[in-house]
């Protein structure tokens, strides 16, 4: 008998940055872009800003912070998420927006690393609500994901520890 083959369907929306469909979300993306300038990225030259929108409308942002001992640095997404969770542990995270600049200071597309996706999944599980993810995409687009499922299919969750 042939082994069963399964497919995972991943869905996300590609918005034109100046389009009507994303206009409401531009402030949170702008907050991520504004935070790029605070990145400390002397080793990679890749500057990232992330902004987290909480349920009360508060925005908490973070940028990547590198270190001469490379693994000691942290991505912008986790800086923002951990800061938000440290200061406002009971506020649900509605959205995280991520933007980046290359070493020449030009805006460049960015997708979160695996560890950051895992951290997003953890907070989704904690708050029983998906987190909307907005990523600066190519050609003046913003990619919108309704939860981490599409970015981290079959992710490891706390429920598996029981």
Stretch that binds ligand THU, among 71-79, 87-95, 138-146, 152-160 (CB under 6 A): 71-79
R_g (Cα) of the chain, nearest Å: 16
| Residues 34, 12: Cα–Cα separation, whole Å | 24
Active site residue 77: yes
Restricting to residues 1-30, which ones interact with ligand THU according to CB under 6 A? none
Give me the numbers of helices (H) and strands (E) for the chain, helices first please: 3, 7
What is the C-alpha to C-alpha distance for residues 103 and 143, in angstroms, rounded to an integer? 22
Binding mask 116-145 for ligand THU (x = CB under 6 A): x-----------------------------
Query: How many other CB atoms are found less than 10 A from the CB of residue 148?
Result: 24
Q: Catalytic one among 33, 66, 77, 124?
A: 77
Q: Which residues bind ligand THU (CB under 6 A)?
A: 41, 44, 46, 48, 64, 66, 73, 75-77, 98, 110, 112-113, 116
């Amino acid at each position: 008998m042939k082994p069963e083959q399964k497919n995972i369907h991943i869905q996300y929306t590609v918005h034109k940055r100046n389009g009507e469909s994303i206009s409401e979300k531009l402030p949170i993306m702008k907050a991520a872009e504004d935070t790029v300038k605070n990145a400390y990225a002397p080793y990679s030259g890749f500057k990232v800003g992330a902004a987290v929108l909480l349920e009360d409308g508060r925005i908490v942002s973070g940028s990547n912070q590198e270190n001469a001992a490379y693994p000691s640095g942290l991505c912008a997404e986790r800086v923002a998420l951990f800061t938000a969770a440290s200061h406002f542990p009971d506020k649900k995270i509605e959205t995280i927006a991520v933007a980046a600049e290359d070493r020449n200071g030009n805006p460049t597309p960015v997708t979160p690393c695996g560890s950051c996706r895992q951290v997003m999944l953890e907070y989704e599980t904690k708050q029983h609500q998906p987190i909307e993810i907005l990523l600066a995409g190519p050609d003046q687009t913003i990619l919108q994901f309704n939860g981490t499922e599409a970015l981290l299919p079959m992710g490891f969750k706390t429920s598996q520890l029981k």
